Structure formats: structure tokens, C-alpha cells
Amino acid sequence: MKFVIQKNTFVDVLSKIQGLTGRKSNLAITANVLITASGSEITLMATDLETGFEGTYPAQIESEGSIAINSRKLYEIVRDFPSETININEVENRWIEIGNKNIEFHIVGMNPEDFPDIPQIEEVDYFDIAADILRKMIEKSLVIGPSDDKRAHIIGVFLEHIQTDDQNSLRMVSTDGSRLSTVDYVCRSETNVGLKDGVMIPKKGLNEVLKFLNTSGTVQMGLKDNNFIIKKDSEIIIIRLLEGDFPKYQDIVTKKDVNEIVLKKNLFLMMLKRMSILSSENYKGVIFNFLKDKLLVTSTNPDIGESKEDMEIEYDGQPIEVAFNPRYFIETLNVIEDENIIVNIINDEKPCIIEGEKEKDFVSVVMPMRI
């Protein structure tokens, strides 16, 4: 196998697959990228055994073949290479030459036949979605990141199709047990998403999808044979779905008998950041006191000290004293684009629902803490 490829093309895709090839698995070869040279292009494959990637790129092929090369070392060599083109040549015993007349690397490859198969999915009913919309949906869903809990509904994002009389929507739901978020995308009425009961997609797989989503253009999304598929131009990502049931969450995100309090997002965000300075692993919570036309937030950590801050609000209900983890609020506010947010609160036992004043496609629910 021998080929020449543009550095910019090569380094871009190699940088994006580092999350896949850098993830530990029970097969050492998954730390490699599989390169196949054929015709006038090369095909790159990478997998962590749950998420697979395949992409095809133009190259000058002098001789065809396949080789598995350590992804991290190849990326580092290509990233810092001084010329605009990269020459790669397989010599005897799976050794690979990378370089030009001035620079030469020799690294050992692995048997391409040992590389795990990536599912070859055909006849998929794809659903077109704007890349920036899908990016925002995933980013907002992944505000609730992975945890040590390995239950499917914790490590995955629930994707479902919601059909009402006047609206056709795609929804992602994410939770870690202490909070929950929903992100909606309103589709065209005639769109067939192909979701019946919903599916659960691993969060770490969706995190890899983010790296390949631009802020413009359209991608294709589909489901087939227990796989979630994203296709973009000459690149495809295939994620194996999780098995299990997602909890019934609808009642949690339903607003009933709530006190709606409008707050300026940035003022509230900076207030919470200051109040979280004294937080630690053992003292994560802060106390919210909703009083007449005032919100008082206090933070106490016996190992460090205490702080308090108040801000004016429009509130005329009964006083409410409740504890929350401020980090959950901060992470939520960071992905809301509105200038104002609405805090929907009932009492110190019920979950608090946070949403934008105008932006209604994203809803975050935070459970109160017991201190």
C-alpha cells in the first residue's frame, strides 16, 4: 500500500477520531485506525466496539492495500508534519514509512484482518436534519453528562418522536437521576422519523457525533438493525443502541400549580457562580430563599466558610426555602440562549423546571437536595 494525501484533509479526520481510538476496549487493535487505499481514495475506519466511523477521502494511490496503524501516533506525526502532503508507504512485515526526503518515520502496523467489523448498513430510511439543529440538540442533551451509574437510561439519551394534532417533533431526553432535560425539534408535518417507542443512544457515542457536525449544511439520520446512524457526505457514524426502558418522565416536565419567576439569565448565572465558589465534594448544595420580591442565596461550607447574595425578583407567593446543586443550574443556563429565563417552582420537595422566556424547545428539571 502506498499513497499521498493532503495534510489538511488527513489531520482533520484523524483529530476527530481520537475519542474513539483512545477509548479502552478489550481489543488492543481498536487503538488503531484502519486505512484502505483503493482507486483514487482512501477509506478510514475507527471503532470502540460500540461506535463505528467510516470516511472516504481523495488521495493519490500508487498501490492499493490495507493497514491498521496506531491512531494517536499517526495523528501526532501528521499534525506536526511540515509539508502540505503526506507520503505513506507500507513496506515489509507491516512496517509503515511516513515522510518525505527530509523526514522519515517508521512505525509498525497491525494485521488489518484483525480489525473488528463495522456494520455495513443498507436500505436505511434516512431523515434529513440541519447539522446545526442536531448539534444544538446533542449539546443540550449532553449538559447532563456521564456518571458512574451504568444503567441504560443514565448513560444514554432517549430519542423519541412526538406526534400531536398540530405538531410533529423529535425529542431527546437525558437524565442522571438528579435532573432531567428535554430538547425538541419541530419537524415538517409530513416527515416520517421512523421512531415508534423511542430508542436510547449512548451519550459517549453522541459526543463523537458532535465532532463531525458543522454549523451549516444537512445530515442524514436513521435507525436500522439496532443501530443509530448519522451520514454526512462521505462520512458515516454508526452507534449501537442501548437496551432497556427509559423511565416515564412526562409528569416531571409538566408545569402544574407552579410559581413562574422571570430572572435575567446572566445576572442569575454570575450569582450562582459566586455562590458555588465555596462548594466542595461534601458540601455541594446552596440554599435558595424565595421571598417577597427577593431571592436570597446562601452557601455554607464548615471547612471553608459561608457566603450570601440576594437579587430583586418579581415574586408575591409564599416564602420557599429549598436547596439545590448550583452546578446543575449553571450548566443549564450556559445552553439557554434567551436573555431571560423562567424558574418554575412549587415548594422545597417538588422539582424545579427551568426554561427560556421565549425559547421553549429546551426544558431542564432539577430535583431539590436534602441538607
* 371 residues of the chain, pLDDT tens digit each: 999 999 999 999 999 999 999 998 889 999 999 999 999 999 999 999 999 999 999 999 999 999 999 999 999 999 999 999 999 999 988 999 998 878 999 999 999 999 999 888 888 888 899 999 999 999 999 999 877 888 999 999 999 988 876 778 899 999 999 999 999 998 865 555 667 789 999 999 999 999 999 878 999 999 988 999 999 989 999 999 999 999 999 999 988 889 999 999 999 999 999 999 988 888 889 999 999 999 999 999 998 999 999 999 999 999 999 999 999 999 999 999 999 999 999 998 999 999 999 989 999 999 999 86
- For residue 194, give its domain range: 127-240
Q: Give the whole-angstrom CA distance, residue 367 versus residue 22.
A: 34
Q: Are both 109 and 136 inside the same structural domain?
A: no
Q: Give the whole-angstrom CA distance, residue 361 versus residue 292.
A: 30
From the CB of residue 123, how many other CB atoms can be counted at a distance below 10 Å?
6
CB-side exposure of 305: number of CA atoms within 13 Å? 5
Q: Are both 97 and 170 inside the same structural domain?
A: no
277 in a domain, yes or no?
A: yes
The CATH code of the domain that includes 236 is: 3.10.150.10
Q: Give the whole-angstrom CA distance, residue 59 versus residue 194.
A: 37
Q: Are both 65 and 139 inside the same structural domain?
A: no
Q: Are both 170 and 103 inside the same structural domain?
A: no
Say whether pTM exceeds 0.85: yes
Q: Are both 278 and 344 inside the same structural domain?
A: yes
**Cell (9 digits) for 247:** 423511565
From the CB of residue 355, how many other CB atoms can be counted at a distance below 10 Å?
23
Q: Cα angle at 211 between 361 and 356, to 5 degrees?
A: 20
Of 32, 59, 178, nearest to 115 by C-alpha is 32
**Cell (9 digits) for 102:** 527530509
